[in-house]
Copies of this chain bind each other. A is one copy, B any other.
Amino acid sequence: MRPYERDPAAIYAQSFAIVEKEARLDRFAPGMAQLATRVIHACGMVEVADRLAYSSNAFEAGQNALANGAPVLCDCEMVGAGIIRRYLPRGNDVIVTLNDESVRARAKEIGNTRSAAAVELWEPHLKGAVVAIGNAPTALFHLLELLDAGAPKPAVILGFPVGFVGAAESKAELVNNPRGCDFVALRGRRGGSAIASAAVNALAAGLPEITQ
């Protein structure tokens, strides 16, 4: 068997060093560079840095929201599972409504997916929240529809739905008209829950694996 690196601190340090060497992070402000690093680290692809779109205040808005105790609203359990709880500065709530018992009936009622219906249950928590969408384009589309209809605005929308139907389009809609919310998104088909969780972890703690 070949030798391999077994020390967690060394693995993190080498990983982040490779990202820094390959990804030209100097295009980003410091906070967004940390977020880009975690996103790249989560998917193993330095080139996603080229497709990141974000509002200029997105990192600070999300960081401040978490520092003030805002909840994190996730579109699926995987995003919730990837959020490193000990990094959250205020023991912030991580809320996933997808498997709420009312969701199936609501989806039928509104003629949309369960992921979209689940977003309607975010409404009492939405004002000033951190939204992390890592799976369903319809969750992001429906959130934008709710904002158009006057729903409370989150602090930041982390838009990382993935796939072939609606992912690129929903993120283009978010980027083109963020509706007064700060945002980070990965343009195109790529995305996913590990990337969405990584973005939340960056807002929560930056890169504590190498800076502490």
Residue positions of A touching B, CB distance < 8 A? 1-2, 4-8, 11, 14-15, 18-19, 41-45, 76-78, 80-82, 111-114, 116, 137-138, 141, 144-145, 148, 162-167, 169-170, 173, 188-194, 197
Taken together, the copies of this chain in the complex come to 2
Contacts of A197 in B (CB 8 A): 78
Complex alpha-carbon distance, A114 and B141, angstroms: 38
A177 to chain B, nearest CB (A): 9
**In chain B, what residue has the closest Cβ to A191?**
B44
Given A4-B169, A80-B81: 11 more A-B contacts, CB < 8 Å: A2-B169, A5-B138, A5-B165, A7-B111, A15-B163, A15-B165, A18-B165, A43-B190, A44-B189, A44-B191, A44-B192
* Contact (A163, B44) CB under 8 Å given A1-B144, A82-B193, A148-B1: yes
Q: What are 29 pairs between A and B in contact, CB < 8 Å?
A: A1-B141, A1-B144, A2-B173, A4-B169, A5-B165, A6-B116, A7-B113, A8-B113, A11-B138, A11-B166, A14-B164, A18-B164, A19-B164, A42-B192, A43-B162, A43-B192, A44-B162, A44-B167, A44-B188, A44-B189, A44-B190, A44-B191, A45-B189, A76-B81, A78-B81, A78-B194, A80-B81, A81-B81, A192-B192
